[in-house]
Structures are given as structure tokens and as C-alpha cells.
Amino acid sequence: MMAAPTYALPYDRRVHKRGADLLNDPVLNKGTAFTEAEREAYGLQGLLPPRVTTQQEQLDRFLPGVRARPTLLDRYAYLVSLADRNVTLFYRLVIDNLEEMMPVLYTPTVGQACEQFGHIFRRSRGLFITADHRGRVREVLANWPHADVRMIVVTDGARILGLGDLGANGMGIPIGKLTLYTACAGVSPHQCLPVTIDVGTDNVALRESPTYMGLPRPRLQGEAYDALMTEFIEAVQERFPLACLQFEDFGNHNAFHLLETWRDRICTFNDDIQGTASVTLAGLLSAARITGVPLEQMRLLFLGAGEAGIGIGDLVVESLVAGGLSEAEARQRCWFVDSRGLVVRSRTDLAEHKRRFAHEHAPVSSLLEAVEELRPHAIIGVSGTPNTFTPDVLQAMARHHARPIVLALSNPTSKAECTAEQAYAATGGRAVFASGSPFDPVTLDGRTFVPGQGNNAYIFPGVGLGVIVAESARVTEEMFAVAARTLAAMVSEEDLAMGRIYPSLSRIREVSRVIAVAVAEVAYTRGLARRPRPDDLAQAVLDAMYEPEYHSLV
């Protein structure tokens, strides 16, 4: 028997598998694209149909099957089945059809995929670390087969999109985010690790469901929770010392607490707080080019004062201060409405993270009343509550400003504060609109408007790639501010003319590459980089981007 040759793959993994073992490895499997020589060398004869096909021929065969599925969730499951068999072909298909596939693999479908996780689960694609692993988290992390992990997305499932506590079912979020790291920015799939910290769930219906695959017990709280998270974070630093840790979809208290505790100690960020802030800041900077009102003169009114809203407010303040305003002046530009009305200083029920945006003002109970009194240039929806930007609210915005900015950012689509059609109709087509989930173009009075999508995927993949290239020791607010300005600068006049305040999603790999260069530049300038600066930083970023191509094994 001929000994199987070894081949150094781009990520320094050598091929020692043969036959069915090779076909069952989704990283190595090429399916019918294995050549005759490879089939002979690796014991594949008879295990595959005889015709050797190219990657493009495989795509031509598989893509119609995706499109034939009747629902987005069916398409999601079909694509996941491909990723479970052939990672390279999966990413080639996604990258070549990114605008079409992003709504399938992430917003809005990923929320439904999390809700149905127990029904569609076939093969584990990440690590589940549970409350029962306390004291041996390092041992569990050691089970992950790849050593060179550079990007970890972790959730505890407490607040999945606008859907609430989904417990272990929230694993769909880290998997989806890391899919976008690879598809949108070329972070190599073997460098990505999805993690769910399963500490139970307070969703009683989920706990009692026979299809729920997590710990069916109430959610761990307090010191025990903090101790488990500390053990996990410290174990990550030992096992994957160059990894960036991204927190995702934690509850408000834990999200702010974890970020404040660790942001100056390890390479970490919270996408719900900082990524959302960056993409929203970019949208406001682009919208200013349409309205003619610069950011420093805008009054912003947020509906929702949780992770996303406060994160946006903080980054806006930092940007305005960098532009010359005092911190007090900058904070005065940002106003918040929560479930109990306008956030004002006289209220005694405010959580700590809201107090820095509490202003002197008489109590106001409703969003409409706040719009009428404050006359904001922009309303920013991050409430997770649908249909709250009512026609009355939108018409009030249009009375006060020629081009009102309406950002309905809550996900998934069912949670959006208003639809694109509602925003344009209520304002006579004058709204500058963007949303968190995608909406189709809207035709009104003979004009067609193309709404932008304030998708965090414009930001976090590029930030992550820049951090990886520089091997940055930290992720800073400056990096997110730079990412926002870079993204805004990539919006063309043609985009603005059709009402879109973000670039086309078809350009997202270009966007991520440019953002990565800007972020890496910050890391080198601030002395945070742990890797020597390359002679050509832009080329180093380009060279680091994964391309899903087959490599010869003989």
C-alpha cells in the first residue's frame, strides 16, 4: 500500500487521513474535486463518483439547490449541511454570492435558527462550556482541535438579538458571527472558535422543551457566574494567547461588567456595545452629507438605553470630543428614552450606565412627546420593540426637519421599530433611513429608495482582521472610531443619491480590508502591536485574507 503523502496546508495542518476519514473531515474534504492522483494516493477510489469536477462545477450544482429551498431557514440548514461536509466550498459559495447569502446566514435568519436550534442541530461547530465545567475549563478548552485560534466569539445566550434568553440555543450567534469574519474579512476558519457559556436559562418554556439541548435549569447568577467567566477568560489567555475575545448577546448587566472588567487587561470587545456604536456612528456621518447638518450640531434621540444605545452614545461623545466639543457639550447632544420615558436627572430608577446621559429636563413619558419637545435630527431605535416609530412619531420628525434621520436598528426584522416603507411613506420620502435588518427598495411617488442596512458586519470583521494582523494586545475605542470614519468615507455619492448611507454589501470584503489597515495602524501607532510592523501594511492585510481555494494534496 502506498504511504499517504503529507501536504502543508496554508494553516500548517498536515494531511495524514485517508479514505472515508479524509472525506469526513470538512476542512480537508474536496468531494468530487479530488483529482485522480489524489484518489489513488489517499484511498478514495470507489468512495466518490468517478467524474472529477472543478470547484466551479460544484458551485453550479449546489447553488440552485440553495435557491430552491422554500424558506430562509431551509436555506440556512442546507448551507450548514454544506459547511459540515466541505468548508472550502461553503466559503467559496458564500463569498461569491455575499449579498444573497448574508441574510440567510445571519440577520434576519439566525434568530430563527437559534429558536429552532434543537431541531436543526446535526454536528457541533463550537465549544459548549457549562456551569458543570467549573474548575476544569482549561481541560475543556484543550479539546478544541486547532491551536492557532485568533478570534473567539462567546455568548451566554441571555439576550439573543431581540428574542431574549435562549440559553444554549444561542450558539447560532457565535457560529454566525465567525462565519462573517471569514466571509467578509478573510479570517481563516481554523482561527475561529465559537463558544457558548451554558449557565442555564430563565426561559421556562425552553427548559421544559424536549428539544432543548442545554442545561435545563435556572440561570446561574452572582459570584458563581463571575467565577466561571473569570476561569474561562483566564483559560483562554493560556490556551490561545493571541486570540481576541468578542462578547456577544450577554444581558445588560453582565455585558457592561465584563467589558469594564477586562477591556484594559486583555484583547477583547463587545460587539453589541462597540460594534453597533461604530456602524451607527458611520451612518450618522454619512447621513450628515445628505442633511447638511454636521454631527457636532445634531441632536440625537435614542429609543432604548441598553448595551447598544449607551454604546452608541459613548462613541458619539468620544468622536465629538475629539472634534473639539467639551464632554458636557457632547453628552448634551445625546438623549435617551427607555421603557419609563425620557432619561432625566430627576429619575431615581436609573441604572448606573444610564446616569451619564441623564439631563436636566422635565419628565417626559412617551417617545412622541420627546420628539416634539427635543426636535431631534435623528431617532435611533435600539429597543428591540417593534412598531415604536409610529406614523405620528415619523410625521413629527418630518415637521421639524427637512431630512429627518430614522435609524430602526433592532434585530431581527420582526423587532424593527419601523419598516423602510413606513419611514418613507410617513415622511413623504424625506427620511434618511437605515435599519438593522435588510429591507427591499421602496418606490414612492415614482421615486425608488434603497434603504441602507446598519449591519455590524461592516465593522467587526475588519476590526478583527486588523487586530489579528498586528497581534494587538488590546481593542480600543479609538479603533472603533477609526473604523466608523473609514466606513463612512467609503459611501459614494451614488449611494447617497439613492438614500443609502452604507456601501453596497457587495463591497464588504473591500470595506473590511480598508478598515483592517486603519485598525492595525492604530495598534502600531499606540504601541499595542505584538508583531513587527511590515514594510507594507496594506499588503500584509491582503496577504492575511483567506481565499477558499482547493490545494493539491499530491
Q: Where are the alpha helices (DSSP H) in 156-274?
A: 172-185, 204-207, 222-239, 252-262
Which residue is it, cell 467549573?
134
377-396 burial string, b = 16+ CB within 10 Å, else e? bbbbbbbbbbebbeeebbbb
How many residues can be counted in the chain?
Answer: 554
Contact 190, 146 (CB under 8 A): yes
DSSP 365-430: -SHHHHHHHH--SEEEE-SS-TT-S-HHHHHHHHHH-SS-EEEE--SSGGG-SS-HHHHHHHTTT-
CB 72 within 8 A of CB 104: yes
Question: How far is Cα 491 from Cα 87, in angstroms, rounded to an integer?
Answer: 32
187 in Cβ contact with 468 (< 8 Å)? yes
Give backbone dihedrals phi and psi of 40, rounded to 5 degrees, phi first.
-70, -45
DSSP code of 505?
G
Contacts for 59 with CB less than 8 Å, ≥ 6 apart = 89, 92, 93, 96
User: Nine-digit cell at 450?
Assistant: 434603497
Secondary structure (3-state) at 67: helix
Alpha carbon distance 320, 330 (integer Å): 6
Angle at 54 between CA 48 and CA 55, to 5 degrees: 100
What residue type is assigned to position 248 of the chain? E
Q: Point out which residues pair with 380 in neighbouring strands.
A: 302, 407
Q: Which DSSP letter does residue 346 get? A: T
- Residues marked as catalytic: 106, 177
Sheet holding 192-198, edge to edge: 127-130, 192-198, 151-155, 244-247, 268-270
| CA-CA-CA-CA torsion sign (296, 457, 306, 194) | negative
Backbone angles phi, psi at 368, to 5 degrees: -60, -45
Q: Which triple of cell numbers denotes residue 420?
A: 423602510
Distance CA 387, CA 419 (A): 8
Angle made by CA atoms 146, 147, 151, in degrees to the nearest 5: 85
What the block records as the C-alpha cell of 232 is 474561562
